């Protein structure tokens, strides 16, 4: 069965390759605006499904996988920073605190089936110093990541611990996705 990942993310591609090497990549063109007042866990699932649906239009015979990851603190989403100063502000807000990373997953099948879920992982940052923040910003890594950090990169140096699924923080809940793909006989 043909599988298409509705994402251009190298991390998601790497994580899906833990399950199968037999997939194509097709970045989704979907409106990722959040609905006012909607629960954020519902939003990551909705956005994941929108991405999968967008890709399914051009790949109707494939299993289409969409995913969306959101860093939240105080029940507010932190998206990708606009610039270095915005990244610094986000990281200062996370410093010494625990936040949640919500990751949605949608797997759509050619027969009209839809399998969706979300994960919630709690990430605690150390109370890192300003010079450590400056060093991390200098890597450039924070600029293209939700919440301004990558757990799989230099951002790991800022983290005290996690409670939940590491791979969901990277952007794709691997074990739940494998289970879905196995159950629909796609792998």
Cα(first)–Cα(last) distance of the chain, in Å?
8
Catalytic residue of the set 29, 36, 68, 83: 68
Considering Cα of 122, then 128, then 130, then 136, what sign does the dihedral take? negative
Which residues are within 8 A (CB) of 74 and not within 5 positions of it... i.e. 6 or more apart?
A: none
Catalytic residue flag (residue 29): no
Half-sphere exposure of 97 (CA within 13 A, CB side): 12
Q: Which helix (H) or strand (E) holds 13?
A: helix 10-16
Specify the residue for token string 């097709």.
Answer: 26
Burial 58-84 (b: 16+ CB within 10 A, else e): ebeebbbbbbbbbbbbeeeebeebeee
Active site residues: 68
């Amino acid at each position: 069965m043909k599988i298409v990942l509705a994402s251009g993310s190298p991390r998601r591609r790497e994580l899906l390759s833990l399950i199968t090497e037999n997939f194509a990549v097709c970045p989704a063109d979907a409106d990722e605006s959040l609905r006012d007042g909607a629960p954020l866990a519902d939003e990551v699932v909705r956005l994941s499904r929108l991405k999968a649906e967008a890709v399914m239009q051009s790949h109707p015979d494939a299993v289409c996988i969409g995913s969306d990851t959101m860093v939240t603190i105080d029940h507010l989403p932190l998206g990708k920073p606009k610039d270095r100063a915005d990244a610094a502000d986000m990281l200062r807000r996370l410093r010494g605190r625990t936040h949640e990373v919500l990751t949605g997953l949608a797997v759509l099948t050619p027969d009209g089936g839809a399998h969706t879920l979300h994960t919630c992982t709690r990430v605690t940052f150390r109370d890192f110093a300003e010079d450590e923040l400056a060093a991390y910003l200098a890597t450039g890594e924070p600029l293209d990541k939700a919440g301004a950090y990558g757990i799989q990169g230099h951002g790991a140096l800022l983290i005290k611990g996690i409670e939940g699924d590491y791979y969901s923080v990277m952007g794709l809940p691997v074990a739940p996705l494998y289970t879905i793909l196995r159950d629909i006989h796609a792998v």
